[in-house]
């Protein structure tokens, strides 16, 4: 089977992306405790949604229920206008991309791509044309006669992606698809996935624990904690305006500085830090006088301030790590709390030395006060 073929109108048919609806979905494996509970989520047709969370948060169980490998204990799953809650995988018209490419080693690349079409009884001429389309889609038009072992890991993953898209699925599921690649290949594959999604607009639900992937790839990100949605929104929303200390700490690096709630003034509140400093932050909870809170501040939003400035504390430099584009400085406050400060590597600001005491500050709108996490 040759890959260098003309692309027919049939092969140019756009993907039939559908919206996905999960309504009151629970999942229990032992009949007593839920790993997913009360899940209500809508994914728009053509949307790229990433499910992000730590191990054990329920994200893989959600993917398995969407794929049909597991059934919900309660609730319903719809793809478009079809209730697929109890349909087997082969009746859902879903494409899947796994971390390990799952290519048949004894088949050529063209045969690997043709297999799902042949299983769906596509006409032979359409299979040949569609294989050519899929190879062109991932810019590997000359590898059709090779075997998987003759391709690099990045090339194999691109073929796995092409195979998931080749039969016009209504939904594409991706389960940690870049986890087996090195950083350079991961970056290249992120660009490839973004390009393909922009051009074809399939509905994609992507599962990962990598925050960078979630931020760079997604239209929206759904962060899970303990089987429930902690927050769902655009990458900008989640990074700039986290709804909880968990989201702030899980999505990107974050400082969580302990303190005691003093008073509130509209959207702002006053917090006495454990070191005695009084600072201001946006009030993100219903804390009352004397209750424990934590002030969340991104390391890149911290700056040096002069004596007398508000929202400031003194800290001693423990060490500084060179990361290329930034310097990551680790400091300790007088009460032993650790602060991370990121300085852009712009060449104009001197790097602080170990043992140096620095006065750090931030703008009120860059800090958020959350109820202290329960121990």
pLDDT in tens, the chain (375 residues): 333 333 333 334 456 899 999 999 999 999 889 999 999 999 999 999 999 998 889 999 999 999 999 999 999 999 999 999 999 999 999 999 988 888 999 999 999 999 999 999 999 999 999 999 999 999 999 999 999 999 998 999 999 999 999 999 999 999 998 887 888 888 999 999 999 999 999 999 999 988 989 999 999 999 999 999 999 999 999 999 999 999 999 988 999 999 999 998 888 999 999 888 999 999 887 788 999 999 999 999 999 988 766 789 999 999 999 988 899 999 999 888 999 999 988 877 778 899 999 999 999 999 999 998 775
CA distance 321 to 344: 12
Kindly report whether the global pTM for this prediction surpasses the value 0.95: no
Pinpoint the residues of the chain covered by CATH 2.40.50.140.
255-371
Q: Where in the chain is the domain with CATH 3.40.50.300?
A: 10-240
Supply φ then ψ for residue 260, to 5 degrees: -125, 130
Provide the token pair at 324. 């290329």
- The predicted pLDDT at position 7 comes to 34
**CATH for 255-371?**
2.40.50.140
Rounded to the nearest 10 degrees, what angle do helices 124-137 and 153-165 cross at? 130
Please state, as a whole number, how many other Cβ atoms lie within 10 Å of the Cβ of residue 318: 13
- State the architecture of 10-240 in CATH terms: 3-Layer(aba) Sandwich (3.40)
Contact call for residues 203 and 20 (beta carbons, < 8 A) = yes
Q: Helices 109-119 and 124-137 meet at what angle, rounded to 10?
A: 130
Q: What share of the chain is helix, strand, coil (3-state, %, to 5)?
A: 25, 35, 40
């Amino acid at each position: 089977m040759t890959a260098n073929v003309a692309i027919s109108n049939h092969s140019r048919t756009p993907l039939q992306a559908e919206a996905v609806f999960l309504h009151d979905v629970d999942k229990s494996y032992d009949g007593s405790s839920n790993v997913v509970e009360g899940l209500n989520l809508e994914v728009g047709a053509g949307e790229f949604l990433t499910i992000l969370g730590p191990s054990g948060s329920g994200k893989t169980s959600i993917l398995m229920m969407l794929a049909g490998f597991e059934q919900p204990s309660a609730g319903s799953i719809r793809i478009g206008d079809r209730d697929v809650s109890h349909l087997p995988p082969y009746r859902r018209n879903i494409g899947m991309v796994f971390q390990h490419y799952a290519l048949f080693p004894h088949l050529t690349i063209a045969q690997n791509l043709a297999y799902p079409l042949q299983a769906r009884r596509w006409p032979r001429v359409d299979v040949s044309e569609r294989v050519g389309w899929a190879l062109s889609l991932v810019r590997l038009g000359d590898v059709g006669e090779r075997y998987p072992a003759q391709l690099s890991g990045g090339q194999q993953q691109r073929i796995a992606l092409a195979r998931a898209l080749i039969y016009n699925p209504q939904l594409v599921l991706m389960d940690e698809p870049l986890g087996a690649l090195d950083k350079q290949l991961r970056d290249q594959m992120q660009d490839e996935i973004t390009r393909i999604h922009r051009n074809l607009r399939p509905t994609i639900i992507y599962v990962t624990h990598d925050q960078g992937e979630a931020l760079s790839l997604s239209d929206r990100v759904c962060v899970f904690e303990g089987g429930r949605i902690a927050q769902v929104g655009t990458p900008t929303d989640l990074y700039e305006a986290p709804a909880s200390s968990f989201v702030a700490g899980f999505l990107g690096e974050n400082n969580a500085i302990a303190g005691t709630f003093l008073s509130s003034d509209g959207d702002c509140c006053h917090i006495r830090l454990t070191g005695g400093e009084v600072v201001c932050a946006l009030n993100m909870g219903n804390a009352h006088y004397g209750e424990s809170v934590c002030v969340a501040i991104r390391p890149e939003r911290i700056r040096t301030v002069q004596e007398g400035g508000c929202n400031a504390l003194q800290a001693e430099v423990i060490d500084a790590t060179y990361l290329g584009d930034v310097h990551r400085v680790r400091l300790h406050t007088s009460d032993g709390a650790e602060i991370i400060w990121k300085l852009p590597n712009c060449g104009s600001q001197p790097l602080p030395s170990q043992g140096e005491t620095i006065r750090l500050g931030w703008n009120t709108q860059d800090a958020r006060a959350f109820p202290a996490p329960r121990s």
